[in-house]
Structure 1
């Protein structure tokens, strides 16, 4: 079976007895090798000395005087950010615990680090997965997507890839469609992954240049539903069934979770009976019904009822999934 997401840092971590990712010295060293931290030609002796000390002893305490001795203020700030994140990782013990704790209170961890944690956690969750569509769908958890609608199909392409290639000279039909929809000039050659050609992903997963359709009935939507269920199981230890749906038929449903900020706002307005502005409903790309296998793990007053999930694009067609909402907002029985 091909390896995947080799840039996630998964190979630098160790699993504990519960299958969670323990922080290792090599994982910390990878952050010290980031371009924001690694010394450059202009770095002074204080910066070089601190970097060498951290590479030798990644968990060492850094005195304020060591940071203040660095002349470059940007370098000092970068060290403060990375070291604060390192300390959070070490205090939590595992990447999963660090991720979950990040959203308890004010969030002061940079989005880049949050996305990287989701990336490596999903690499752990999906270890041994042989379904390329499930892997591509999982990228929504940590990479922004550019959405467009074509002949009734909701197509998602990696937003960074679209932006990087927007000035290219090749004009594939899907590439042109997505770039023009995002208001950029130019195109990018992209392939829509489906059951027949999903194996393309193994050769191109690090390029992020494939498109998936979240249209109801397409296999990528089922794959995304499966990843959502695995994410909940890994973090909460609860088995849920997640299935795509065309619409919410309950007039007064019991609970919902928006998988992004736009969906949360739309579902809240629909539930409260507010009148939606024209076009907002069209931003919803996917709907799911989540059911708890054991109703006793739900809040008693709504036990056995469906929880509805939605994924939407914003007014610029950008999808920014917030998988942390699944950890913080499900109606769990806390008794």
Structure 2
């Protein structure tokens, strides 16, 4: 999905901020969904589908009677429009993207997702874009993509690198040449080199220039930890990576918590948990949640599984009084982990649902 936003605009997609800084949906925003391949008409679309799509493009808030959906000849098209209308109506009823997102993931754990994951990712993308609207930190911009796009993790020359999964899979399959690339691959013809660059100060202008263009997810993020060297006399020299993707991700997650929950926290990367009074943890993905639960309960964990842990983080509340009384002042440990196929699917909603808040938000 490509996003175009004029410089200085308050929020992406011509979304409007309310007094809290949350985003109100607009017709222009809803049109983005209607223009997606999942909803855009194709050559085989029936007249009823063409008419419905044209009517919704003209007025995305238009009421669509049940008979209008049943008139669609293609069952997949009926389902796609049913899901879109459910999403649209829920978003408009919530009033803001943030309120809708929180409604999908209530702290009670009783939520039920009945819209496509793609729609959730698009909402998260709009929110994170808004969070970083005034930021000039390209590392945070790239790290923010991890909140709504799956990543592939690899290790090269001692670096832990995060790359956009869909982009890498497409490049591996087609060499970046689309259908022509697939034809070359099937013919076993030479394929062009894949041009994926690790984000750095030197190529940061290229990242910004490509950010809203096709193929913009072509920069790798360095998630390598800081390096500690043991010196004599019990001293430890810690070498901090000046442009750490882990530090950038921590900064984005801090903003995410503040924006949604109104709670100030600090988050920093951590190499290990060395805390006899460990009281609370949150996995930033399904794999990390399971691993931290096992470690907390003292279960034995296979070394190969531990090696899939990308990073730990320590989260501290600026005001311990905003925490549950039984854990007030204690750190919250976070985990980030790839699966056995090297894919990392971060779930930012976990921070909103599982932090030990003094009261529900």
TM-score strictly above 0.5? yes
Task: Check whether the contact 2:3–2:13 (CA below 8 A) recurs between aligned residues.
Answer: no
Residue 159 (structure 2) pairs with residue 153 (structure 1): yes
Residue 78 (structure 2) pairs with residue 84 (structure 1): no
Q: 1:314 to 1:332 in 2, by over 3 A?
A: same
Match of 2:354 among 326, 329, 334: 329
State the distance in 1 between where 2:75 and 2:328 align: 54
Query: Residue by residue, what CA displacement relative to the aligned partner does 1:100-133 show, whole Å, maximum 9, x if unpaired?
Result: 1112312122110111111000011100211111
**1:44-193 alignment runs, 5 A limit:** 44-104=46-106, 105-167=111-173, 188-193=194-199
State the distance in 2 between where 1:247 and 1:228 align: 19
Query: Residue by residue, what CA displacement relative to the aligned partner does 1:230-261 show, whole Å, maximum 9, x if unpaired?
Result: 00000000000011111111134110000000
Match of 2:278 among 249, 253, 259: 253
SS where residue 172 of structure 2 aligns? coil
State the shift of 1:196 in Å: 4.7
Task: Check whether the contact 1:257–1:325 (CA below 8 A) recurs between aligned residues.
Answer: yes
**1:158-307 alignment runs, 5 A limit:** 158-167=164-173, 188-205=194-211, 206=213, 207-217=216-226, 218=241, 219-307=244-332
Provide the aligned C-alpha RMSD in A: 2.1
Task: Check whether the contact 1:255–1:306 (CA below 8 A) recurs between aligned residues.
Answer: yes
SS where residue 303 of structure 2 aligns? coil
Query: Residue by residue, what CA displacement relative to the aligned partner does 1:107-160 show, whole Å, maximum 9, x if unpaired?
Result: 122110111111000011100211111101111001111101234321111111
State the shift of 1:24 in Å: 0.9
TM-score (norm 1): 0.89
Q: Which runs of 5+ in 1 are unaligned?
A: 171-184
Task: Check whether the contact 2:149–2:164 (CA below 8 A) recurs between aligned residues.
Answer: yes
Q: Which runs of 5+ in 2 are unaligned?
A: 6-10, 177-190, 227-240
